[in-house]
Structure 1
Amino acid sequence: MRISALLLLAAASLAGGAATAADLIVDDPEAIAAAADYDWSGAYAGLFGGGGNSEVTLSEPSGLADPLDLAADGWLAGVRAGFNAQAGVLVFGAEADLARTWIGGNGSASDGLNSLEYSYDVDWLGTVTGRVGYAADTLLLYAKGGLAAGGVRSTLTPTAPLPALPPSSADAVATGWTVGLGTEFAFSENATAGIEYDFVALGSELDYAGGSLEAKQDLHIVRLGVNYGF
Protein backbone atom coordinates (compact mmCIF):
# COMPACT_ATOMS: atom_id res chain seq x y z
CA MET A 1 0.00 0.00 0.00
CA ARG A 2 1.16 3.54 -0.71
CA ILE A 3 0.70 4.59 2.93
CA SER A 4 2.87 1.70 4.17
CA ALA A 5 5.57 2.53 1.63
CA LEU A 6 5.62 6.18 2.68
CA LEU A 7 5.88 5.21 6.35
CA LEU A 8 8.84 2.94 5.63
CA LEU A 9 10.52 5.73 3.67
CA ALA A 10 9.97 8.18 6.54
CA ALA A 11 11.41 5.70 9.04
CA ALA A 12 14.49 5.20 6.85
CA SER A 13 14.96 8.96 6.55
CA LEU A 14 14.73 9.39 10.33
CA ALA A 15 17.24 6.60 10.89
CA GLY A 16 19.62 8.24 8.44
CA GLY A 17 19.28 11.58 10.21
CA ALA A 18 19.99 9.97 13.58
CA ALA A 19 23.08 8.27 12.17
CA THR A 20 24.35 11.59 10.81
CA ALA A 21 23.81 13.26 14.18
CA ALA A 22 25.64 10.40 15.88
CA ASP A 23 28.61 10.86 13.51
CA LEU A 24 28.76 14.55 14.41
CA ILE A 25 28.85 13.69 18.10
CA VAL A 26 31.66 11.17 17.60
CA ASP A 27 33.71 13.84 15.79
CA ASP A 28 33.19 16.39 18.57
CA PRO A 29 34.87 15.64 21.96
CA GLU A 30 32.70 18.21 23.74
CA ALA A 31 29.58 16.60 22.31
CA ILE A 32 30.77 13.21 23.56
CA ALA A 33 31.09 14.58 27.09
CA ALA A 34 27.64 16.15 26.89
CA ALA A 35 26.12 12.91 25.59
CA ALA A 36 27.61 10.90 28.43
CA ASP A 37 25.79 13.16 30.90
CA TYR A 38 22.47 13.34 29.09
CA ASP A 39 19.50 13.19 31.47
CA TRP A 40 16.06 12.11 30.21
CA SER A 41 14.29 13.21 33.42
CA GLY A 42 11.64 15.91 33.37
CA ALA A 43 8.46 17.02 31.65
CA TYR A 44 8.11 17.33 27.89
CA ALA A 45 5.60 18.21 25.19
CA GLY A 46 5.63 17.51 21.49
CA LEU A 47 4.02 17.17 18.09
CA PHE A 48 3.66 14.07 15.92
CA GLY A 49 2.26 12.87 12.62
CA GLY A 50 1.95 9.52 10.95
CA GLY A 51 -0.31 6.98 9.35
CA GLY A 52 -2.10 3.76 10.08
CA ASN A 53 -3.86 0.71 8.73
CA SER A 54 -6.69 -1.16 10.43
CA GLU A 55 -9.23 -3.94 10.17
CA VAL A 56 -12.82 -3.33 11.26
CA THR A 57 -15.55 -5.88 12.01
CA LEU A 58 -19.21 -4.86 12.41
CA SER A 59 -21.39 -7.62 13.85
CA GLU A 60 -24.84 -8.09 15.35
CA PRO A 61 -24.85 -8.63 19.13
CA SER A 62 -26.84 -11.85 18.57
CA GLY A 63 -24.25 -13.17 16.13
CA LEU A 64 -26.95 -14.48 13.79
CA ALA A 65 -25.95 -12.52 10.68
CA ASP A 66 -22.56 -12.66 8.96
CA PRO A 67 -20.23 -9.87 10.17
CA LEU A 68 -19.32 -6.96 7.92
CA ASP A 69 -15.56 -6.58 7.45
CA LEU A 70 -13.60 -3.71 5.93
CA ALA A 71 -10.08 -2.30 5.79
CA ALA A 72 -9.45 1.30 6.84
CA ASP A 73 -6.33 3.43 6.52
CA GLY A 74 -5.25 7.05 6.58
CA TRP A 75 -3.28 9.69 8.46
CA LEU A 76 -3.13 11.37 11.85
CA ALA A 77 -1.52 14.40 13.51
CA GLY A 78 -1.54 15.43 17.12
CA VAL A 79 0.02 16.67 20.33
CA ARG A 80 1.40 14.88 23.38
CA ALA A 81 2.80 15.61 26.82
CA GLY A 82 4.53 13.48 29.40
CA PHE A 83 7.05 13.11 32.19
CA ASN A 84 10.17 10.96 32.59
CA ALA A 85 12.13 9.88 35.68
CA GLN A 86 15.55 8.30 35.14
CA ALA A 87 17.27 5.79 37.43
CA GLY A 88 20.62 4.80 35.98
CA VAL A 89 20.02 3.52 32.46
CA LEU A 90 16.30 2.93 33.11
CA VAL A 91 13.72 5.58 32.28
CA PHE A 92 10.16 5.45 33.63
CA GLY A 93 7.39 7.76 32.55
CA ALA A 94 3.80 8.51 31.64
CA GLU A 95 2.39 10.12 28.52
CA ALA A 96 -0.93 11.37 27.14
CA ASP A 97 -1.64 12.23 23.52
CA LEU A 98 -4.53 13.36 21.35
CA ALA A 99 -4.67 13.19 17.56
CA ARG A 100 -6.96 14.32 14.77
CA THR A 101 -7.27 11.33 12.49
CA TRP A 102 -8.30 10.75 8.90
CA ILE A 103 -8.54 6.94 9.03
CA GLY A 104 -11.48 5.30 7.31
CA GLY A 105 -12.75 2.79 4.81
CA ASN A 106 -15.87 1.36 3.21
CA GLY A 107 -17.26 -1.94 1.97
CA SER A 108 -20.31 -3.62 0.50
CA ALA A 109 -22.25 -6.82 1.07
CA SER A 110 -25.05 -8.73 -0.67
CA ASP A 111 -26.98 -11.93 -0.01
CA GLY A 112 -28.42 -12.06 -3.53
CA LEU A 113 -31.55 -10.16 -2.54
CA ASN A 114 -30.46 -7.38 -0.23
CA SER A 115 -27.40 -5.19 -0.86
CA LEU A 116 -25.68 -2.83 1.53
CA GLU A 117 -22.84 -0.31 1.41
CA TYR A 118 -21.18 0.67 4.67
CA SER A 119 -18.41 2.95 5.94
CA TYR A 120 -16.39 3.37 9.13
CA ASP A 121 -14.21 6.35 10.12
CA VAL A 122 -12.09 7.34 13.11
CA ASP A 123 -12.20 11.11 13.67
CA TRP A 124 -9.94 11.38 16.72
CA LEU A 125 -7.75 9.12 18.83
CA GLY A 126 -6.30 9.57 22.30
CA THR A 127 -4.17 7.43 24.60
CA VAL A 128 -2.87 7.53 28.17
CA THR A 129 0.11 5.23 28.69
CA GLY A 130 2.95 4.32 30.96
CA ARG A 131 6.46 4.01 29.52
CA VAL A 132 9.63 2.16 30.48
CA GLY A 133 12.85 2.53 28.54
CA TYR A 134 16.59 1.97 28.31
CA ALA A 135 18.81 5.02 27.88
CA ALA A 136 22.14 4.81 26.08
CA ASP A 137 23.28 8.42 26.48
CA THR A 138 21.28 10.40 23.90
CA LEU A 139 19.43 7.34 22.58
CA LEU A 140 16.30 6.04 24.30
CA LEU A 141 14.56 2.75 23.50
CA TYR A 142 11.18 2.26 25.17
CA ALA A 143 7.98 0.25 25.42
CA LYS A 144 4.58 1.65 26.39
CA GLY A 145 1.09 0.47 27.22
CA GLY A 146 -2.19 1.82 28.50
CA LEU A 147 -5.70 2.97 27.62
CA ALA A 148 -7.05 4.24 24.30
CA ALA A 149 -10.23 5.93 23.08
CA GLY A 150 -11.43 7.26 19.75
CA GLY A 151 -14.37 8.99 18.14
CA VAL A 152 -15.88 6.74 15.44
CA ARG A 153 -18.75 7.05 13.00
CA SER A 154 -20.35 4.63 10.59
CA THR A 155 -23.01 4.78 7.88
CA LEU A 156 -25.12 1.93 6.47
CA THR A 157 -26.70 2.53 3.04
CA PRO A 158 -29.12 -0.10 1.68
CA THR A 159 -28.83 -0.27 -2.13
CA ALA A 160 -31.40 -3.05 -2.81
CA PRO A 161 -34.19 -4.02 -2.99
CA LEU A 162 -35.70 -0.92 -4.56
CA PRO A 163 -36.79 1.51 -3.38
CA ALA A 164 -33.69 1.67 -1.18
CA LEU A 165 -34.06 2.86 2.39
CA PRO A 166 -32.28 6.10 3.42
CA PRO A 167 -28.78 5.85 4.91
CA SER A 168 -28.50 5.36 8.67
CA SER A 169 -25.53 6.77 10.60
CA ALA A 170 -24.17 6.10 14.08
CA ASP A 171 -21.53 7.84 16.21
CA ALA A 172 -19.79 6.54 19.32
CA VAL A 173 -16.73 6.83 21.53
CA ALA A 174 -14.80 3.58 21.14
CA THR A 175 -12.61 2.46 24.03
CA GLY A 176 -9.83 -0.08 24.38
CA TRP A 177 -6.11 -0.47 24.97
CA THR A 178 -2.77 0.12 23.29
CA VAL A 179 0.83 -1.12 23.37
CA GLY A 180 3.81 0.25 21.49
CA LEU A 181 7.55 0.40 20.91
CA GLY A 182 9.64 3.43 20.07
CA THR A 183 12.97 5.17 20.01
CA GLU A 184 14.04 8.78 20.61
CA PHE A 185 17.29 10.56 19.83
CA ALA A 186 18.28 13.78 21.62
CA PHE A 187 19.78 16.22 19.13
CA SER A 188 20.07 19.11 21.61
CA GLU A 189 19.87 19.64 25.36
CA ASN A 190 16.08 19.95 25.27
CA ALA A 191 14.90 18.60 21.91
CA THR A 192 14.40 15.00 20.74
CA ALA A 193 13.05 13.30 17.63
CA GLY A 194 11.70 9.78 17.40
CA ILE A 195 9.67 7.11 15.70
CA GLU A 196 7.06 4.88 17.33
CA TYR A 197 4.88 1.89 16.43
CA ASP A 198 1.54 1.43 18.22
CA PHE A 199 -1.06 -1.31 18.20
CA VAL A 200 -4.49 -0.04 19.24
CA ALA A 201 -7.57 -2.23 19.88
CA LEU A 202 -10.92 -0.39 20.05
CA GLY A 203 -14.49 -1.53 20.55
CA SER A 204 -17.88 0.19 20.60
CA GLU A 205 -21.62 -0.27 20.10
CA LEU A 206 -23.09 1.64 17.18
CA ASP A 207 -26.80 2.52 17.32
CA TYR A 208 -28.33 2.94 13.85
CA ALA A 209 -31.94 3.82 13.05
CA GLY A 210 -32.85 0.18 12.49
CA GLY A 211 -30.81 -1.48 15.23
CA SER A 212 -27.29 -1.74 16.65
CA LEU A 213 -23.98 -3.33 15.68
CA GLU A 214 -20.86 -4.04 17.68
CA ALA A 215 -17.68 -2.61 16.15
CA LYS A 216 -14.18 -3.95 16.75
CA GLN A 217 -11.10 -2.32 15.24
CA ASP A 218 -7.39 -3.21 15.36
CA LEU A 219 -5.11 -0.35 14.31
CA HIS A 220 -1.42 -0.43 13.39
CA ILE A 221 0.04 3.07 13.61
CA VAL A 222 3.49 4.54 12.93
CA ARG A 223 4.24 8.02 14.28
CA LEU A 224 7.14 10.40 13.68
CA GLY A 225 7.49 13.22 16.19
CA VAL A 226 9.54 15.79 18.04
CA ASN A 227 9.51 16.63 21.75
CA TYR A 228 10.80 19.56 23.76
CA GLY A 229 11.84 19.00 27.38
CA PHE A 230 11.37 21.47 30.23
Structure 2
Amino acid sequence: MRRFCFSTALVLAASPVTAADYSFAPLTPVHEFTEYGYSSSTWSGQYLGASIGGQNNRITVPGNGVLEGFGLIGGFFAGVNYEQDGLVYGVEADVDWNGYDQAAACATPAWYCAVQGSLRSRLGYAVDSFHVYGTAGIAAATVGGYGWTAGLGAEFAFSDELFARAEYRYTALGSANSWHDQTQTGVVSHAFRTGIGYKF
Protein backbone atom coordinates (compact mmCIF):
# COMPACT_ATOMS: atom_id res chain seq x y z
CA MET A 1 0.00 0.00 0.00
CA ARG A 2 2.86 2.33 0.89
CA ARG A 3 4.50 1.58 -2.49
CA PHE A 4 1.26 2.44 -4.34
CA CYS A 5 0.84 5.72 -2.45
CA PHE A 6 4.45 6.67 -3.11
CA SER A 7 4.10 5.96 -6.85
CA THR A 8 0.90 8.00 -7.01
CA ALA A 9 2.58 10.91 -5.28
CA LEU A 10 5.44 10.87 -7.79
CA VAL A 11 3.03 10.92 -10.74
CA LEU A 12 1.05 13.83 -9.28
CA ALA A 13 4.22 15.76 -8.54
CA ALA A 14 5.54 15.28 -12.04
CA SER A 15 2.28 16.28 -13.77
CA PRO A 16 2.66 20.10 -13.44
CA VAL A 17 6.21 19.88 -14.78
CA THR A 18 5.12 17.83 -17.78
CA ALA A 19 2.25 20.22 -18.49
CA ALA A 20 4.59 23.16 -18.26
CA ASP A 21 6.97 21.51 -20.72
CA TYR A 22 4.14 21.11 -23.26
CA SER A 23 2.70 24.56 -22.71
CA PHE A 24 6.03 26.27 -23.40
CA ALA A 25 7.04 23.99 -26.31
CA PRO A 26 7.66 26.11 -29.47
CA LEU A 27 5.06 25.69 -32.21
CA THR A 28 6.15 24.81 -35.73
CA PRO A 29 5.20 27.61 -38.16
CA VAL A 30 2.47 26.60 -40.59
CA HIS A 31 4.58 27.48 -43.64
CA GLU A 32 7.15 24.84 -42.66
CA PHE A 33 4.58 22.14 -43.42
CA THR A 34 4.41 23.17 -47.10
CA GLU A 35 6.54 20.54 -48.80
CA TYR A 36 6.22 21.44 -52.47
CA GLY A 37 6.46 24.80 -54.17
CA TYR A 38 4.89 28.04 -53.04
CA SER A 39 1.60 28.29 -51.15
CA SER A 40 -0.25 31.24 -52.69
CA SER A 41 -2.42 33.23 -50.31
CA THR A 42 -4.80 34.49 -53.00
CA TRP A 43 -5.23 34.78 -56.78
CA SER A 44 -7.13 38.06 -56.48
CA GLY A 45 -5.77 41.14 -58.20
CA GLN A 46 -4.91 42.71 -61.51
CA TYR A 47 -2.26 41.15 -63.72
CA LEU A 48 -0.51 41.39 -67.06
CA GLY A 49 1.81 39.12 -69.00
CA ALA A 50 3.17 37.80 -72.27
CA SER A 51 2.52 34.54 -74.10
CA ILE A 52 3.94 32.50 -76.97
CA GLY A 53 2.69 29.37 -78.72
CA GLY A 54 1.42 27.82 -81.90
CA GLN A 55 -1.85 27.95 -83.84
CA ASN A 56 -3.35 25.73 -86.51
CA ASN A 57 -5.46 27.80 -88.94
CA ARG A 58 -8.19 26.89 -91.43
CA ILE A 59 -9.30 29.88 -93.54
CA THR A 60 -12.19 29.54 -95.99
CA VAL A 61 -12.20 32.32 -98.58
CA PRO A 62 -15.38 32.46 -100.71
CA GLY A 63 -14.39 31.94 -104.35
CA ASN A 64 -10.75 31.17 -103.49
CA GLY A 65 -10.95 27.88 -101.61
CA VAL A 66 -9.40 26.92 -98.30
CA LEU A 67 -6.06 27.90 -96.78
CA GLU A 68 -4.66 25.70 -94.02
CA GLY A 69 -1.44 25.98 -92.07
CA PHE A 70 0.39 26.33 -88.78
CA GLY A 71 1.93 29.51 -87.42
CA LEU A 72 3.69 30.74 -84.32
CA ILE A 73 1.72 33.19 -82.20
CA GLY A 74 2.86 35.65 -79.56
CA GLY A 75 1.34 38.56 -77.69
CA PHE A 76 0.21 40.10 -74.43
CA PHE A 77 -2.64 39.55 -71.97
CA ALA A 78 -4.11 41.54 -69.06
CA GLY A 79 -6.96 40.96 -66.66
CA VAL A 80 -8.31 40.91 -63.14
CA ASN A 81 -9.20 38.00 -60.82
CA TYR A 82 -11.35 37.68 -57.72
CA GLU A 83 -11.01 34.67 -55.38
CA GLN A 84 -13.50 33.46 -52.79
CA ASP A 85 -13.06 30.12 -50.97
CA GLY A 86 -10.96 28.72 -53.81
CA LEU A 87 -13.35 29.88 -56.55
CA VAL A 88 -11.56 32.23 -58.95
CA TYR A 89 -13.45 34.37 -61.47
CA GLY A 90 -12.54 37.37 -63.59
CA VAL A 91 -12.13 39.00 -67.00
CA GLU A 92 -9.17 38.92 -69.40
CA ALA A 93 -8.23 40.53 -72.72
CA ASP A 94 -5.41 39.58 -75.07
CA VAL A 95 -3.89 40.54 -78.39
CA ASP A 96 -1.66 38.29 -80.55
CA TRP A 97 0.35 38.32 -83.73
CA ASN A 98 -0.17 35.18 -85.88
CA GLY A 99 2.86 34.10 -87.89
CA TYR A 100 0.85 32.10 -90.45
CA ASP A 101 1.02 33.69 -93.92
CA GLN A 102 -2.49 35.01 -94.43
CA ALA A 103 -1.69 37.52 -97.18
CA ALA A 104 -3.80 35.58 -99.68
CA ALA A 105 -6.88 36.08 -97.51
CA CYS A 106 -6.36 39.72 -96.65
CA ALA A 107 -5.16 42.99 -98.16
CA THR A 108 -1.56 44.05 -97.71
CA PRO A 109 0.51 44.82 -95.69
CA ALA A 110 0.86 41.22 -94.55
CA TRP A 111 1.63 42.10 -90.90
CA TYR A 112 -1.78 43.74 -90.64
CA CYS A 113 -3.44 40.47 -91.65
CA ALA A 114 -1.98 38.66 -88.64
CA VAL A 115 -3.51 40.59 -85.71
CA GLN A 116 -6.03 38.82 -83.47
CA GLY A 117 -7.47 39.33 -80.00
CA SER A 118 -10.23 38.47 -77.54
CA LEU A 119 -12.18 39.63 -74.49
CA ARG A 120 -13.18 36.74 -72.23
CA SER A 121 -14.60 35.77 -68.85
CA ARG A 122 -12.74 33.20 -66.76
CA LEU A 123 -13.94 30.80 -64.07
CA GLY A 124 -11.72 28.37 -62.19
CA TYR A 125 -10.68 26.75 -58.93
CA ALA A 126 -7.43 27.26 -57.02
CA VAL A 127 -5.62 25.08 -54.50
CA ASP A 128 -2.70 27.01 -53.03
CA SER A 129 -0.29 27.71 -55.88
CA PHE A 130 -2.22 25.75 -58.55
CA HIS A 131 -5.16 27.16 -60.52
CA VAL A 132 -7.24 25.51 -63.29
CA TYR A 133 -9.83 27.46 -65.29
CA GLY A 134 -12.18 27.63 -68.24
CA THR A 135 -12.54 30.70 -70.41
CA ALA A 136 -14.95 31.96 -73.10
CA GLY A 137 -15.84 35.19 -74.84
CA ILE A 138 -15.76 37.24 -78.01
CA ALA A 139 -12.85 37.18 -80.47
CA ALA A 140 -11.80 39.26 -83.46
CA ALA A 141 -9.10 39.20 -86.14
CA THR A 142 -8.20 41.13 -89.25
CA VAL A 143 -8.90 37.92 -91.17
CA GLY A 144 -12.38 36.56 -90.40
CA GLY A 145 -13.76 39.50 -88.47
CA TYR A 146 -15.70 38.68 -85.32
CA GLY A 147 -16.69 35.49 -83.58
CA TRP A 148 -16.16 33.58 -80.35
CA THR A 149 -13.44 31.67 -78.52
CA ALA A 150 -13.36 29.16 -75.63
CA GLY A 151 -10.74 27.06 -73.92
CA LEU A 152 -9.10 25.58 -70.83
CA GLY A 153 -5.95 26.47 -68.95
CA ALA A 154 -3.82 26.01 -65.84
CA GLU A 155 -1.60 28.39 -63.88
CA PHE A 156 1.11 27.94 -61.24
CA ALA A 157 2.20 30.70 -58.84
CA PHE A 158 5.89 31.02 -58.02
CA SER A 159 5.30 33.91 -55.58
CA ASP A 160 2.65 36.48 -54.65
CA GLU A 161 3.35 38.26 -57.94
CA LEU A 162 4.82 35.84 -60.51
CA PHE A 163 2.93 32.99 -62.22
CA ALA A 164 3.18 30.78 -65.33
CA ARG A 165 0.38 29.38 -67.48
CA ALA A 166 -0.49 26.94 -70.24
CA GLU A 167 -3.72 27.30 -72.25
CA TYR A 168 -5.63 25.76 -75.17
CA ARG A 169 -8.26 27.75 -77.10
CA TYR A 170 -10.65 27.09 -79.98
CA THR A 171 -11.75 30.11 -82.05
CA ALA A 172 -14.40 30.49 -84.80
CA LEU A 173 -14.67 33.73 -86.82
CA GLY A 174 -16.68 35.02 -89.77
CA SER A 175 -18.73 32.48 -91.70
CA ALA A 176 -17.36 29.70 -89.46
CA ASN A 177 -19.45 31.34 -86.74
CA SER A 178 -22.59 31.94 -88.83
CA TRP A 179 -24.83 29.39 -90.61
CA HIS A 180 -26.87 32.02 -92.50
CA ASP A 181 -24.08 34.06 -94.13
CA GLN A 182 -21.47 32.11 -96.04
CA THR A 183 -20.21 35.09 -98.06
CA GLN A 184 -17.69 36.08 -95.38
CA THR A 185 -14.22 34.67 -94.90
CA GLY A 186 -14.42 31.96 -92.25
CA VAL A 187 -11.61 31.14 -89.83
CA VAL A 188 -11.29 28.21 -87.43
CA SER A 189 -8.19 27.92 -85.25
CA HIS A 190 -6.78 25.71 -82.51
CA ALA A 191 -4.15 27.45 -80.41
CA PHE A 192 -1.87 26.39 -77.59
CA ARG A 193 -0.12 29.09 -75.54
CA THR A 194 2.34 29.23 -72.67
CA GLY A 195 2.94 32.44 -70.82
CA ILE A 196 4.29 34.24 -67.81
CA GLY A 197 2.41 36.90 -65.84
CA TYR A 198 2.84 39.42 -63.05
CA LYS A 199 0.11 40.16 -60.50
CA PHE A 200 -0.06 43.55 -58.77
1 CA distance for matches of 2:185 and 2:93? Answer: 24
Over residues 179-224 of structure 1, what are the superposed CA-to-partner deviations in whole Å (9 max), with x where a residue is unaligned? 01000000112100010001011116xxxxxxxx521111000011
Is the alpha carbon distance of 1:33 and 1:39 closer, same or farther for their aligned partners in structure 2, counting shifts above 3 Å? farther
Is the alpha carbon distance of 1:35 and 1:103 closer, same or farther for their aligned partners in structure 2, counting shifts above 3 Å? same
Which entry has the higher C-alpha Rg, 1 or 2? 2
Q: Residue 120 of structure 1 aligns with which residue?
A: 105
Is the alpha carbon distance of 1:57 and 1:188 closer, same or farther for their aligned partners in structure 2, counting shifts above 3 Å? same
Over residues 91-122 of structure 1, what are the superposed CA-to-partner deviations in whole Å (9 max), with x where a residue is unaligned? 0010001112212369xxxxxxxxxxxx3364
Which aligned segments of 4 or more residues in structure 1 are displaced greater than 3 angstroms?
A: 30-37
1 CA distance for matches of 2:127 and 2:154? Answer: 11
Deviation at 1:35, TM superposition (A): 4.5
2 CA distance for matches of 1:75 and 1:48? Answer: 11
Question: How many residue pairs align between the two structures?
Answer: 158
**Among 136, 153, 162, the residue aligned to 1:191:** 162
Superposition pairs of residues 54-65 of structure 1, within 5 angstroms: 54-59=57-62
Structure 1 contact 48–223 (Cα < 8 Å) conserved: yes
Deviation at 1:76, TM superposition (A): 1.3
Is the alpha carbon distance of 1:59 and 1:33 closer, same or farther for their aligned partners in structure 2, counting shifts above 3 Å? closer
2:129 matches 1:138: yes
Structure 2 contact 40–157 (Cα < 8 Å) conserved: no
Superposition pairs of residues 67-146 of structure 1, within 5 angstroms: 68-104=65-101, 119-120=104-105, 122-146=113-137
Share of identical aligned residues, percent?
Answer: 35
Q: Which one has the bigger helix percentage?
A: 2
Q: Residue 47 of structure 2 aligns with which residue?
A: 44
Deviation at 1:70, TM superposition (A): 2.2
**What secondary structure does 2:42 align onto?**
coil
Structure 1 contact 56–217 (Cα < 8 Å) conserved: yes
2 CA distance for matches of 1:37 and 1:220? Answer: 31
Q: Residue 223 of structure 1 aligns with which residue?
A: 193
Is the alpha carbon distance of 1:197 and 1:43 closer, same or farther for their aligned partners in structure 2, counting shifts above 3 Å? same
Structure 2 contact 169–192 (Cα < 8 Å) conserved: yes
2 CA distance for matches of 1:99 and 1:192? Answer: 20
Is the alpha carbon distance of 1:185 and 1:227 closer, same or farther for their aligned partners in structure 2, counting shifts above 3 Å? same
Deviation at 1:59, TM superposition (A): 2.3
2 CA distance for matches of 1:214 and 1:31? Answer: 55
Structure 1, unaligned stretches of length 5 or more? 1-27, 61-66, 107-118, 153-172, 205-212
**Among 146, 156, 181, the residue aligned to 1:175:** 146
Which amino acid letter does the alignment assign opposite residue 199 of structure 2? G
Structure 2 contact 56–191 (Cα < 8 Å) conserved: yes
2 CA distance for matches of 1:83 and 1:186? Answer: 15
**What secondary structure does 1:214 align onto?**
coil
Deviation at 1:36, TM superposition (A): 4.6
TM-score by length of 1: 0.62
Deviation at 1:68, TM superposition (A): 1.1
2 CA distance for matches of 1:69 and 1:33? Answer: 49
2:141 matches 1:150: yes
**What secondary structure does 2:41 align onto?**
coil
Q: CA RMSD in A?
A: 2.5
Q: Residue 25 of structure 2 aligns with which residue?
A: none
